[in-house]
Each structure stands twice: as structure tokens, then as C-alpha cells.
Structure 1
Amino acid sequence: MIIRAINDVSKYKDYLSYNIRVNLRLKVSNTLLGYFWWLLDPLLQMLVYTIIVAFIFDKGEANFPVFVFCALLSWKWFSSTVMYSANCIKANSGVLNQVYVPKFLLPFQETVVNLIKFLFGFIILLAMLVFFKIVPTLHFFEIIIIIASNFLFIFAVSLVMTHFGVFISDMRNFLSHVNRIWWYLSPGMYSLDIVPEQYSWLFWLNPNTTFFESYRNVIMYGQSPHYIALFIWTSISCLLIFYGLRKLYAFDRSYSKIV
């Protein structure tokens, strides 16, 4: 299954490359500020959370804007990709009915598109590190491992959502509420230090905890990421990828009859 998918990526690499470029342009084609929105969007969202938590409630960690921005970049990558994937086959049914394309390429290309936007956000992040006088250490280079694990997890969840999104008409609406709750149950705006010790293990069942805390470790605190937790979620992601690919290939020719 994995070998077949790798061969399909190689076979359709020109299609992928073209679609990724087109999708990146389309996301900003009808906006006044264009690509600048990739910087402004997470920045404005970070400012909202900073005003609410740090100024109104007088709470938050030291260097709170950086603290929340590290989590926000990862979260926006995840939520945007999964929301798209839940409806991608239906949204592209016109093209898919005319030209055969392996269905897993749809969530894959969206994962890559949002990865590029994620990396674009590092322009703001680096500027914030300078402003708050946070000096990265050599641990910063370990961020590559976190990003790779994060990519696999997002792609894995997106594959599953792509399949079930065809059969569940309200999947996208349902996910919008789940994502909102999931964000607040994740340590994006608050530290795990405020969670009672007897309940902290519950938060580590949330994959966002691993990714958010790992990004902060290498960016803000000069520490290694949580390698054991990353390994666990990477392993789970690989299993989900296998499951998702199996479902998408099994129903590949049937989706057109459903949508």
C-alpha cells in the first residue's frame, strides 16, 4: 500500500507541483494584501489571545506572545488541512469524474500547501524572538524532527477525514466545532504547569500537547523536544496513514457514485 502510494506520488509529481502552486496563488488571489495575509493572519490571532489572556485577565507565561504563537502555527496547519480534507473529494468531484487522480493526493497536496504557510509564519516568529530577546540554541535545529512528525500526523488525520467526509455530509460542520473545543483543551494559551498534577497525564493523550510543548522547547527554552512522545505519535500516524490509504484505494472507484 505504501509502495503504491509512493509510486503514485512519483507518477503524478507534475500534477502535484502544479496544483500546489495554483492553490497557493488562489488562496491570496482575491485579497488586497495577497501573500502578506500569511503573516498577518497568525499575527492577528496571536494578538487577540494576548490581549484576552495577558491584558484583560492578567495571566499568561513569560514572553506570552511567543508562547502562544509557537502553538498557533502548528494548530493552524492542522486545522486548515483537516477542514479542507473533510470535503475535498466532494469539492473536486467535477475534475475527479473526468480525470483519474489517486484520492490521497488531495489531502497530501493540502498538507504541503499549509506546510509552506506554516514555514512562512517563521518570518514573524523570528522577528518576535529578536523583539523579546530570546536567543535560540543549537536545540533549535531539532525543530526539523518535530515538523516531520507533525507533517505525518496531519497527513494521517487528513487521509481518514477525506474518506469519511464522503459518507458523512455534515463532517465539515461537525469538525468546525470539534476543532474549536480541541484548541481550548490543548495547552495553546496556557501552560501545563497550571494543570493539577493528577490530571496532567490526560493532556499528554492529546497529540497537540506533544507538538506544542516540543516547539516551545526548541524555540524558547533551549531544550530538546519530547522525543518519546513524538515517537509514539509518529508511530500512530504511520498506522493511520496505512489505514487511510487502504480505505482510499479500496473505495477509489466508488466515490464518484456517492458524491
Structure 2
Amino acid sequence: MRNYLTELIKRKDLLVYLVKSGLKAENRNSYLGYFWWLLDPLLNVLVYFFLIAIVLGRGGDDKAQYAVYLVIGLVVWRWMNTTVTTSAKSIMKYSSIINQVYLPKSIFPLSMTFTQGFNFVFGLVVVAVFLAVFGVVPGWQIIYLPFIILVQLLFLLALSLFVAYICVFIRDIDNILSHILRVFFYASPIIWMGRELPEQYALFVQLNPVATIIESYRAIIMYQSNPHFIGLLIIAVISTLVICTLVYHYSKNEHKIIKAL
């Protein structure tokens, strides 16, 4: 385990390279280039706002508040969704390199998480634009933003390491992953507001880590209140334990990954 961690630290330059190359590859052949990092989350919000608030007439009477509510949920979810989907194929994507040179396999899902985390920063710019347009001013609780981002990062690192490893051996997982993510999307208060949820289903949302993270962002950005500290700490502790367990598992099963590829 110690040797494996030492090897990971030695490969930090490779991790930085993978993140940079991943960012360049995303919009390499597009006309607008890096501008899509801002335009993509913006268009995503506008589509959902039009369908839900305008066409269906949901989201409450205060459309401005719902617009801010929606953009926070979608931007946070975007980091989760893209991280899981790209991490699932991360090891198989670099199979040709892995079969020629020894590299810690966990570095590939880690790079995907950090790559999408960089995109998330641009999503926060879109959130800031909505706050300015609709006159929403966060309170002093905004100082908790780095803490929430760190918790989400730990949560996504745990998920990315898990799905990347499983998908090497069970390729069908990648096919059903989009359906699993869709369940979490609709089971979390992303496009619907908490008051719209029937009371008998409230427990499912309370136990949903995605909901806890998203609602914590909204608490400090929209409502000038404290995040869900207990829930965030539980997520952080469990995610850290899962990361340690998975890194240990990677270190003991590197040869199995190579054989499966």
C-alpha cells in the first residue's frame, strides 16, 4: 500500500497531464472551443427552465427564485454526472498505454474527477451570473463553499474509483450506469422543489447524499443559512474510508486489471 501511494505521488506530473489533455480534448473540434464550458451549463438551465417553469407552470410563483434554484442544482449535478460517466471508461480508454507501461491504474479515474471539477468552476461562473441577474445576494455563509466543494470532491473520487474498477470486469455496468444516474437525478431535488415531494418519500431524500450536497449549496448561496454539516461530515468520512479501501484494493489487484484488459 505504501509503495503504491509513493508511486501515485511520483506520477503527479502524469495526473496533471491527463487533466490538461482531457480539458483540451473535450472541445478540440468545436467552433466555440472553451466557451462551451460556460455555454453548455447555461443552455442546460434554460431548457429545463422553459419546460418546467414556462410550459408546465411548476416551480412556484417566484420564477426568479426558481431560476436560481434550478441553476445551482443542475450545475452541481453536472459535475457528478460527467464524472461518473467518464470515469467508468477511464481505465479502458487508456488500455493501450496500460499494457505497455506500468502505471497506477487508479490515476485514470482520479484524473477524470479533477478534469470535470475544473469544468464545475466554470459552472459556478454561470451560477454567479444568475445571482447577479436576479438580485440574489449570498450571506456570510458563502465561506462554507470550499468545504462543500471538498466534500463533493471526496464523494466523486470514491464513486469514480469504484465505477472505473467495476467496469473493467463487468462491462455491462457501463450500459446501465446512465439509467442509475437518471434515477438519482429524479430522486434528488434538482429540477423539483422540496415542498413538491410527498411526505412519505421525504426519508429517501434525507438519506440521498446527492440531495444533501445540492441542498447545502443552495443553503449558503440562496437562503443565507448554514449547510447540512452533519450530513456533509458523514459523506466526507464515508467517502474517505471508501477511497482508502479502493486504493488498497487497486494496489493488490493491478495484475487482474491488466489481465482483464
Calculate the TM-score normalised by the size of structure 2.
0.94
Q: 1:185 aligns with which of 174, 177, 187?
A: 187
Which residue number corresponds to residue 32 of structure 2?
Answer: 33
Partner of 1:95: 97
Structure 2 equivalent of residue 216 of structure 1: 218
Match of 2:118 in 1: 116
Q: Structure 1 CA distance, aligned partners of 2:213 and 2:8?
A: 27
**Post-superposition offset of 1:5:** 5.6
Distance 1:238 1:76 in 2: 22
Distance 1:113 1:8 in 2: 21
Query: Equivalent pairs: percent with the same residue?
Result: 36
SS of residue matched to 1:121: helix
Q: 1:65 and 2:67 equivalent?
A: yes
- The one-letter code matched in structure 1 to 2:9 is S
Task: Report how many aligned residue pairs link the two structures.
Answer: 258
Give the secondary structure class of the aligned counterpart of 1:188. coil
Distance in 1, Cα, partners of 2:141 & 2:66: 20
Which runs of no fewer than 5 residues in structure 1 stay unpaired? none
Aligned residue among 126, 129, 136 for 2:128: 126
Contact 1:163 1:247 in 2 (8 A): no
- The yes-or-no answer on 1:82 pairing with 2:84 is yes
Which residue of structure 2 lines up, in the alignment, with residue 47 of structure 1? Answer: 46
**What is the rounded CA distance, in whole Å, between the counterparts of 2:16 and 2:207 in structure 1?**
35
Residue of structure 2 aligned with 1:252, choices 240, 246, 254? 254
Mark the CA change 1:94 to 1:54 in structure 2 (over 3 Å): closer, same or farther.
same
C-alpha separation in 1, matches of 2:51 and 2:239: 34
Provide the rounded CA distance (Å) in 2 between the counterparts of 1:37 and 1:27: 9
Moved more, 103-112 or 197-206: 197-206
Cα deviation, 1:124-146, whole Å, max 9, x if unaligned, reads 11111110000111111211110
| C-alpha separation in 2, matches of 1:103 and 1:118 | 24
Q: Provide the residue aligned with 1:242 in structure 2.
A: 244
- The code of the aligned residue for 2:190 comes to G
Residues 139, 4 of structure 1: alpha-carbon distance in 2 compared, 3 angstrom cutoff: farther
CA deviations over 1:179-229 (Å, ceiling 9, x no partner) = 112101111011222223343122111111101100001111111110000
More displaced stretch, 139-148 vs 186-195: 186-195
1:232 is matched with which residue?
234
Measure, in 2, the Cα distance between the counterparts of 1:156 and 1:197: 31
Partner of 1:174 in structure 2? 176
TM-score with structure 1 setting the length: 0.95
